[in-house]
Amino acid sequence: MLKRRLELDSQKNYLLLGPRRVGKSTLIKSLNKDYELIDLLKTDVFFEYRSRPALLREQFSRSSKLIVIDEVQKVPDLLSEVHWLIENTSNRFLLTGSSARKLRRSGATNLAGRLKTVHLHPLTFAEIPGFELLQRLQYGGLPPMVLGSEPWDELKNYAGEYLKEEVLAEGLVRNIPAFSRFLELAALSNGEQLSYATTARDTGVSAKTVAEYFQILVDTLLGHFLEPYTRTIKRRSVMTPKFYYFDTGVANVLLRRRLSDKTAEFGKAFEHFLVLETLAAQSYTKGIETVRYWRSSSGLEVDLLLNEDTAVEFKSGSIHVADTKGLQALAEELPLKHRWVVGRETRPRLLENGVEVLPWQDYLQRIGEL
């Protein structure tokens, strides 16, 4: 069994969020063998609790157990019962969910002081034995794709069954053909500044609807917005966020894209992978508080700005001083502690302007130590 980086305190109550098949159930089994499981993916269990949420209180009001409720957003009324049981019993709860939108609407925020929210990401570099870069850029880090013998077929099934059917089953969208086209266009613009108008034109819906579609992907934990850093003085900064799918393999399969070295697509996937690793490090460690990107109106750009003091540029090919223009420009705006260009070189080196060139493995080690 793969060891995950996410650590849970055995004395706390948690809301564990993550997309389907990211490994939430497997993680729970590895942490504690003695718990009561309420699996709302089972139709009989779902209908039982949906019709009588008070059943939870009746069953556990006199117990002292760890109670795991899987996919709790399917029966939101259970959250009120969980709240009562936390206040009035010594039961401990571990709730899992794959839709932040439904949980917000159902009042999960009322439990904020009683449930600690944590996120489980696809498998990261540190969690995958025998990690092979090209394979992971192509197929991503979902456990079935890492451990399975036919990852491409698994990805196609995941994209068809989950990305479309699960989102549609929640009643979040009505225009199925338009949403299917949108999923592909979102993959095409993955890692780029969002342009709702352009995507709307190609999708055949309004810009407002496209904005709602992107929000749906984020709310169902299928993507991330990367917000821009805008508090610069010397240069005007862009204010448009970027969007990244939560997994590199998902973006590839939506585009039916096979990666090969030394191509623009490989470079984009390399950046995508390292952005996702950074977001996972932000979830699993305490050293990264903010993750932004920066771009000036004249086109100077820094891929990531961590904690407003560490600027990072990703480059999959040869690295030269000319590749540090964005880092140097941002250094004129902020007192940066670190300026890094991260690539596939085998050893760290220092450029003449003080910018450090790091192998991507060294970068991942450093962000784990921030």
Considering just the CA atoms, what is the radius of gyration of the chain in Å?
22
Tokens (6 digits) for 285: 């460690």
Contact between 223 and 217 (Cβ < 8 Å): yes
pLDDT at 122: 98
Residue type, position 87, single letter: E
Q: pLDDT tens, 229-278? A: 999 999 999 999 999 999 999 999 999 999 999 999 999 999 999 999 99
- Phi-psi category of residue 169: left, alpha or beta, with phi > 0 → left and psi -120 to 50 → alpha: alpha
pLDDT tens digits for range 173-219? 778 788 889 999 999 999 999 999 999 999 999 999 999 999 989 98
Question: Would you say 91 and 82 are in contact if contact means Cβ atoms under 8 Å apart?
Answer: no
Q: Concatenated DSSP letters for 191-255?
A: TSB--HHHHHHHHTS-HHHHHHHHHHHHHTTSEEEEPBP---SSSPBP---EEEES-HHHHHHHH
- Residue ranges per structural domain of the chain: 14-119, 136-370
Tell me phi and psi for residue 89, to 5 degrees. Answer: -135, 175
Distance CA 146, CA 195 (A): 33
Over pLDDT 90: what percentage of the chain? 79
Token representation of residue 3 = 């060891």
- For residue 298, count CB atoms less than 10 angstroms from its CB and return exposed for 0-12, middle for 13-18, buried for 19 or more: exposed
Q: How confident is the model at residue 98 (pLDDT cuts 50, 70, 90)?
A: confident
Superfamily of domain 14-119: P-loop containing nucleotide triphosphate hydrolases (3.40.50.300)
How many whole angstroms separate alpha carbon 338 and alpha carbon 290? 15
Average pLDDT, the chain: 92
Stated pTM of the model = 0.94
Asked if 186 contacts 240 with a C-beta cutoff of 8 angstroms, the reply is no
Model confidence pLDDT, tens digit, residues 295-336:
999 999 999 999 999 999 999 999 999 999 999 999 999 999
The 10 Å CB-count burial string (b at 16+, else e) for 78-94 is bbbbbbebbeebebbbb
* Sequence letter at residue 101: R
Residue 187 to residue 202: CA distance in whole angstroms: 13
Q: State yes or no: pLDDT of 112 exceeds 70.
A: no
